[in-house]
Amino acid sequence: MSFITKDESSCYKECFYSNDNCLFLNISNQTFFITDSRYELEAKKDAIVDEVIITNDIFKTAKKLIKKAKIKKILFDPYEFNLAQYIKLTKNISCKFIQKPHFLKHKRAIKCENEIELIKKAMQKTRAGFKDIKKLFSLGIDEIELNYKSKHILTNKGRYQLSFQPITAIDKNSAKPHAKPDNTKYQKKSLVLVDAGIKYKRYCSDRTETFINKKDKLQQKVYDIVQKAQQKVISKLRAGDKASSVDKIARDVIEKAGFGKYFVHSLGHGVGLDIHEYPVLSQKSKDIIQNNMIFSVEPGIYLPGKFGVRIEDCVVVQDGKAVVL
């Protein structure tokens, strides 16, 4: 069926080019990339479509194409368009716009071999960056400076974009899953949680490492539980499993150890052109794990006023099993 999208990542997936003001239109398998004159040179060079159309009103132009084609139905994702855009597209037109939430995002959950290789490369570069970030840990450095210098390392002096703003949480702040950097300083026995990723040729990576004080018995105990939960998930999950069942594998390990109420988020999420994609690995998820899906596995335990531990890696499902990237 014909469809229309304005999501940047979905546009890129369909034609290998996108920007912040574009529409991708598929009308009976004839494809159009619609954008404005600021992006004309790039679009005509990179977009693999039947026609690139340059206009000062992408919605008006898309509507004209739909009318001209005289199609009866077209799919769209209602979460991509605001009300004004929807009205502009659908007013005084006989074509019926069929709502199908996230249909292209679900399509993007299954990666091709090239996408897998690009995300694998992004993960390798991120892992190497973490080794250099660890070298920054020194008496007196605070979270803000650590965050700033971590960005410098991960982006390799601007050669790569960040997947998201890094988390660099020291001691008590690590008990906040998405802690913002503040003036908390690194001490001799500090715990540091780092959550970061880069984009390699547009594809994201996502990794978390918690650097504990191994002489602290509680920190070591919690770390071992989180690590056990992650390892069990990676070894046990199979293609065909419910994502909610995979979440339960980790949650059961943590609950059995007596820390269930301190695992306060879902187990993981898909990673690709966006940092958060399908599948969603949570207690309520209806997603099914399939071959060539890539997602994070990131169990955590967060003890308010003390510290938090999260361990995160991205895996790809191949031949029915999880492989760490």
Range 132-140 contact pairs with CB under 8 angstroms and sequence separation of 24 or more: 133/194, 133/196, 134/211, 137/186, 137/190, 137/192, 137/211, 138/186, 139/185, 139/186, 139/187, 139/188, 140/185, 140/186
157 has a pLDDT exceeding 90 = no
Which residues 6+ apart lie within 8 Å of 114 measured at CB?
A: none
Task: Determine how β-strand 22-27 pairs with β-strand 3-5.
Answer: antiparallel
> Can you give the pLDDT at residue 20?
95
Q: Say whether pLDDT at 89 is over 90.
A: yes
The 10s digit of each residue's pLDDT in 11-28 is: 999 999 999 999 999 999
Mean pLDDT computed over 150-179: 97
- Residues 6 or more apart whose Cβ sits within 8 Å of residue 113: none
Residue pair 3/11 in contact (Cβ under 8 Å)? The answer is: no
Q: Alpha-carbon Rg of the chain, whole angstroms? A: 22
**For the chain, what is the mean pLDDT?**
97
Looking at residue 68, its pLDDT comes to 95
Give, in order, the Cα–Cα distances in Å from 294 to each of 136, 228, 247, 275.
30, 21, 15, 11
Examine the pLDDT at 304 and tell me if it is beyond 90.
Answer: yes
Number of Cβ within 10 Å of residue 180's Cβ equals 13
Q: How confident is the model at residue 173 (pLDDT cuts 50, 70, 90)?
A: very high
Q: What is the pLDDT of residues 231-253, one digit of tens each?
A: 999 999 999 999 999 999 999 99
Q: pLDDT above 90 covers what percent of the chain?
A: 100
CATH says 113-324 is which class?
alpha beta
Q: What is the DSSP string of 3-60?
A: EEE--HHHHHHHHS---SSEEEEEETTEEEEEE-GGGHHHHHHH--SSEEEE-S-HHH
Could you give the residue range(s) of every CATH 3.40.350.10 domain in the chain? 3-108
| 234 DSSP 8-state letter | H
Residue type, 187: Q
Cα dihedral 70, 72, 73, 78 sign: positive
Is the pTM higher than 0.75? The answer reads yes
Beta bridge partners of 246: none
CATH class of the domain comprising 3-108: alpha beta
Among candidate residues 263, 256, 255, the one with its CA nearest the CA of residue 282: 263
pLDDT 10s digits, 90-142 = 999 999 999 999 999 999 999 999 999 999 999 999 999 999 999 999 999 99
| Span(s) in the chain for CATH 3.90.230.10 | 113-324
Q: With 90 as the cut, is the pLDDT of residue 178 above it?
A: yes
Handedness of CA 314, 322, 260, 214 (dihedral sign): negative
